[in-house]
Amino acid sequence: MKEFSIKIVKKQDINDAVLVKGVPGVGSISHITVDYLINKLNAELICKIYSDYLPNIVLIKEDSSIEPPHYAVYFKKVGNKKIVFVKNNYPPTSEYYSFKTNNYLADFVKKNKIKQVITIAGIAYKELPDKITLHGAVTDQKLKKGLEKMGLIFDGNKSVGLIIGSAGLLLDKCAEKKIPGFCLLVSTWAHPNYFGIKESKKAISFLSEYLKFKVDLSDLNKEIRRINKEIKKVEQNKEQLERAEFNKSRYIG
C-alpha cells in the first residue's frame, strides 16, 4: 500500500511560510474562504498530495481525463510574507484515515519549515445568528494577545466546546512538532444547504488584515456563486459515493 505520494508542479521555497488550510465544513466557510483567496491572489499550484486514505473515486475533468482526489497546495508571496494554501474537496472517509492524513500533512509542514498553521471552521448554530462573530482557539498562548487585538473572541469553551475533523486535528499534530497555529472559528447556521457568504467575507477580511495583503471583495458574490457550483458538484459526487458504498455488496469493480 502506497500511503502517500507528492507530484511537484512547480518548485518553490516555502520555508518560513504561513499555511492556511481549507476543507469542506459547516457553511462551507473554510472552502469558500481558501478557494476565493487562491483565485484572487493568483496563487500558484506547487504540488499535489495523493493518498490511499482519500475516497476510492476518480474525478472526471473538463477534458474528460481522470484524476484521484488529492490535497492541492498553492503558494503566494505577498511582500516579504509567504503564504501556502492547502485545499481538498474530498476528505478522508474515516477517523483513522483522517488521523493518518493530518499526521502526514504535519510532517509536510515540519519538513518544509512552515512557521505557522491556520485552519478555518464554522461554529454551528441551530438558527441563523443575528451577528457574525469570530472566535479563536490556539495551540500557543503567545498568539492570543495579538489575535485578541484584531477582534477574535477567546471565551474558553463557552461558545464552542470542540473542533471536529481536520481543522482541529492538523493543529494538534503540528503542535506536537512545536509548530504554532490557531483555528479561526466563525459563527454560522448549521443548515446543510446553507452557504456562509457573509461569514466567508468576514473570514477573508480578517485573514487579509492578519497576513497583511489586500484583496478586492467587490466581486465576492459573483466568485462565491462559482465556488458554490463547485461545492454542489462535490456534494453530488459524495452522494454518488455514499450510494456506491451502500450498494457495494452488489458492485464488482
Interval 101-110: pLDDT, tens: 999 999 999 9
Cα diameter, the chain: 57
170/111 Cα distance (integer angstroms): 15
pLDDT at 84: 98
What pLDDT band is residue 240 in, cutting at 50, 70 and 90?
A: low
Interval 57-116: pLDDT, tens: 998 989 999 999 999 999 999 999 999 999 998 889 899 999 999 999 999 999 999 999
Cell for 215?
484583496
58/69 Cα distance (integer angstroms): 7
Interval 32-49: pLDDT, tens: 999 999 999 999 999 999
- Which residues, other chains included, contact 11 with Cβ-Cβ below 8 Å and sequence gap of 6+? 46
Mean pLDDT throughout 185-198? 87
Interval 100-148: pLDDT, tens: 999 999 999 999 999 999 999 999 988 888 899 999 999 999 999 999 9
Which domains can be identified in the chain, with CATH numbers? Answer: 12-250 (3.40.50.10900)
- Does residue 1 register a pLDDT over 70? no
pLDDT at 212: 92
CA 32 vs. chain centroid, Å, equals: 9
Contact 73/45 with Cβ under 8 angstroms? Answer: yes
Angle between helices 29-40 and 197-210 (to 10 degrees): 50
Mean pLDDT throughout 154-159? 92
Q: Report the share of the chain in percent with pLDDT over 70.
A: 87
Cα distances (Å, whole numbers) of residue 143 to 89, 117, 152: 29, 12, 11
Q: HEC states along 122-149? A: EEEECCCCCCCCEEEEECCHHHHHHHHH
Residue with cell 488529492: 70
